[in-house]
Amino acid sequence: MTDLIKDLSELRLNYQKGELLEDQVKLDPHEQFLLWFNHALAAQLHEPYAMSLATANAQGRPHVRTVLLRGATQHGYAFYTNYDSQKGMDLEVNPYAELLFYWQEQERQIRVSGRVVKISEEESTDYYHKRPRDSQIAAHVSTPQSGVIASRDELQQRFWDYHDTMANQEQLDKPEFWGGYRLVPDYYEFWQGRPNRLHDRLSYTRTDDAWTLQRLMP
């Protein structure tokens, strides 16, 4: 096979869409997060609520995937999944994780790290019933998540079998193995691309009941 790209070192952009200065950011990192997040929403970026979630298992082996942010408050950042998934198994033995938001069009990135806790059953059930019905069905049939399945056809058949079985049931029950997590942050890093790779990086680290703001080298 012929290589399409001979030298990746020649591929680069010169970032120049903004700056990030200490006297311009919020004292509270969650408020700064909301400021940037709302900028991304207002700009109608494609799925600005998509985020990379990094976890690690008991042996320290990392796993990363894209999930959707489903809540952002002072108490933390919420997402939902199958508890028996790889991320669920990782969090069972190592409850620390990191989120990454990257908005290419604005040359911005946010890292959020902290301890992950399960969301209450009541809150998970409430969110489950807000999902489209087909998504609710998918939660029932795509288990164990990340498990091996013989074919796409088998998965589709599971979906339609459950769909037909539950056709007369107005409301589906939330699966016991499905629900939410909330990452409670103790560290944030805000990154703004800058010319000549002299990027702006500001970190917030939790110390007791306060946040310490520092500038990091690019």
CATH code (residue 69): 2.30.110.10
Residue 197 bears catalytic tag: yes
pLDDT value of position 5 = 63
Residue 8 lies in a domain: no
Q: Report residue 209's pLDDT band, with 50, 70 and 90 as the boundaries.
A: confident
Residue 30 maps to a domain: yes
> What is the tens place of the pLDDT at every residue in 78-121?
999 999 999 999 999 999 999 999 999 999 999 999 999 999 99
Question: Kind of pairing, strands 178-192 and 200-207?
Answer: antiparallel
User: Is 171 part of any domain?
Assistant: no
Contact between 181 and 79 under an 8 Å Cβ cutoff? The reply is yes
Q: What are phi and psi of 89, to 5 degrees?
A: -65, -40
What are the residues facing 68 on neighbouring strands?
50
Q: What is the total count of domains within the chain? A: 1
Catalytic-labelled residue, pool 111, 197, 206, 215: 197
Q: Is 76 among the domain residues?
A: yes
**Range of the structural domain that residue 51 is part of:** 15-128+177-215
* Pick from 104, 97, 118, 112: nearest CA to 30: 112
In a domain, 97, yes or no: yes
Q: Are 195 and 15 in contact (CB under 8 A)?
A: yes
pTM of the model: 0.92
Known binding residues for substrate are 12-15, 70, 127, 131, 135, 197-199
Q: Does some domain include residue 153?
A: no
